[in-house]
Amino acid sequence: MTDKYARHNSPFHRILPVLQLFLALCWGLDGQAQFRPHQELGDLFKAVQVAPVFPDSKTFPDCVPRSAPAEILRAYAQEKDKPGFDLKAFVLRHFELPPTPGNDYQADTSQPVTDHIQALWPVLTRQPQQQKGSLLALPHAYVVPGGRFREIYYWDSYFTMLGLQESQQTQLIQNMVDNFAFLIETVGHIPNGNRTYYVSRSQPPFFALMLRVLAQQKGQQILSTYAPALEKEYAFWMDGAQNLTAQKPAFRRVVLLPDGNVLNRYWDDDPSPRPEAYKEDLEVARASGRNPEEVFRNIRAAAESGWDFSSRWFLDGKSLESIRTTELVPVDLNALLYHVEVLLADMAHLRQDKDQERAYRAKAEKRKKALLAYCWNPTEQFFFDYDFVRQKLSTHPTLAAVTPLFFCMATKAQARGVARKLERDFLRQGGLPATLVASGQQWDAPNGWAPLQWMSIQGLKAYGQNKLASTIAWNWVNQNLQVYKQTGKLTEKYNVEKPATQGGGGEYPNQDGFGWTNGVLLKLIKQQQRK
């Protein structure tokens, strides 16, 4: 990707995100100095990750130093070249390891899975705590996904809240919403997760949907409380939009299209290897033969998308080395931002600000028309991401296509086309795979994921495709239940092509817990019971 897609007219706008990131990383949310392992540990960090000392690259960034990083580095410099130096022993002496994902919770599979989920909420709940290591402290309790994911995650939390809502855990929903509002206020956006090494990127903007859940519990007037936070998040995603030109058509997360419309893409402000996957990213960049910073940026942008990783982002449709996330206008991101604009308009209506309401409704309508124009393939009768660099649609069908239905942006004819393709090409005995490609990446076939099932089911229902929606729901619930009965676990992802089979692939083993699986499964079961 050439410089014209990565730079911006204003020098101030180029440096502002970096300055904001620096301040956010240097200081904790309570004003205390914040530990940044990938920056403060220098050569030690690289040595530990490249060795690797731990099987999971996320382990070391989550370790807590037992003394000041500068002291540890001095000790490392003095010892590393001595005969018999043991790097792992050095790390264990100077760092406190994070909690190991364990089997301290044993499920009773004779109990209904709904009881299992109710019992899991306190297991997955973390209380407010002092900043420790790379963890960003939050003011209220929150639910983590589980397994290696020991912190809050942005888009996971919405789907977790669906289950909390069914469990009447309104205060916990309120706490998590307040935590995200706190992050927006202090960091400037909601990071991927509450770790210093996640601050340079966000995740799919589901905060507005979380507010809808909270409003269902506490009444619509509560939305007004969070208008400033949502406006600030929206500004983060739209930063630089007003200064785009034909010569400089992309900056951070905004893209100027040939007809003058502005849509969004995923991005990351830091073009370096991810600390939590340092060795893996180095190896991909080396194998690609491309500019390493370009590869790192696109890998990180895919992490911001939540789909890390998928053939969806690969130019050749099969290899991570060809990743080009930042060159695509994603269907799901722009559908989510359409909803943000609609909710901001609704908030303006609540406070009787007619000018703001008109402005946001106009923005939403403009985005909707642009998305339908650029991301709809009339031949395939399906939504695709738009490659704005090559000015053509992607040819890789993915479940991101359901988001215009989920947010009721599609026409009835488009919804019928999407439904036909889902039934013909995607439907499996265990639900829907994320894509139709078996690349070995976790966001590809044969893996199915709870958030994509939920949006598919609800999007189809919104257009009267109830039979297909019910089939998908039944297939997914049944797959979850079969694995639970065999293992006592609810896992991060499932192989939807084989009965009673967990998912696989990607950078790490399938995790159990699991926040969004619990939330969506409980919601679907309760919906069925209410019929």
Would you name the residues annotated as active-site residues?
Answer: 308, 492
Q: Nearest CA to 500 among 517, 485, 483?
A: 483
DSSP secondary structure of 439-477: -SSTTSTTEE-HHHHHHHHHHHHHTT-HHHHHHHHHHHH
Plot region of 219 (φ>0 → left; ψ -120 to 50 → alpha; else → beta): left
Amino acid at 439: S
What is d(CA 252, CA 455) in angstroms, rounded to the nearest whole number?
Answer: 27
Contacts of 455 (CB under 8 A, 6+ apart): 399, 402, 403, 406
User: Which two structure tokens, joined as six digits, stand for 370?
Assistant: 């642009």
How far apart are the C-alpha atoms of 26 and 441, rounded to whole Å?
A: 34
| Distance between CA atoms of residues 160 and 361, nearest Å | 29
- CB count in 10 Å sphere of residue 176: 26
Reduced to 3 states (helix: H, G, I; strand: E, B; else coil), residue 107 is coil
The answer to whether the CB of 425 falls within 8 A of the CB of 368 is no
Q: How many whole angstroms separate alpha carbon 139 and alpha carbon 176?
A: 9
Q: Which two tokens stand for residue 36?
A: 């940044």
Q: Taking Cα atoms as reference points, which of 179, 243, 209 lies closest to residue 13?
A: 243
Tokens of residue 364, six digits: 């939403």
Q: Are 26 and 34 in contact (CB under 8 A)?
A: yes
Classify residue 259 as exposed, middle or buried by CB count within 10 Å of its CB (0-12, 13-18, 19+): exposed
Please state, in angstroms and rounded to a whole number, the distance separating the CA atoms of residues 274 and 280.
9
Q: Give the phi and the psi of residue 363 in degrees, each rounded to 5.
A: -60, -45
518 contacts: CB under 8 Å, gap ≥ 6: 117, 120, 121, 124, 160, 163, 490
Do residues 477 and 443 touch, judged by C-beta distance below 8 A? no
Say how far apart CA 145 and CA 4 lie, in whole Å.
38
- Tokens for 241? 């939009």
Whose CA is closest to 406, among 450, 444, 463?
463
Name the 3-class secondary structure at 35. Answer: coil
Task: Answer whether 407's CB lies under 8 Å from 368's CB.
Answer: no
Burial degree of 472 (CB within 10 A; 0-12, 13-18, 19+)? buried
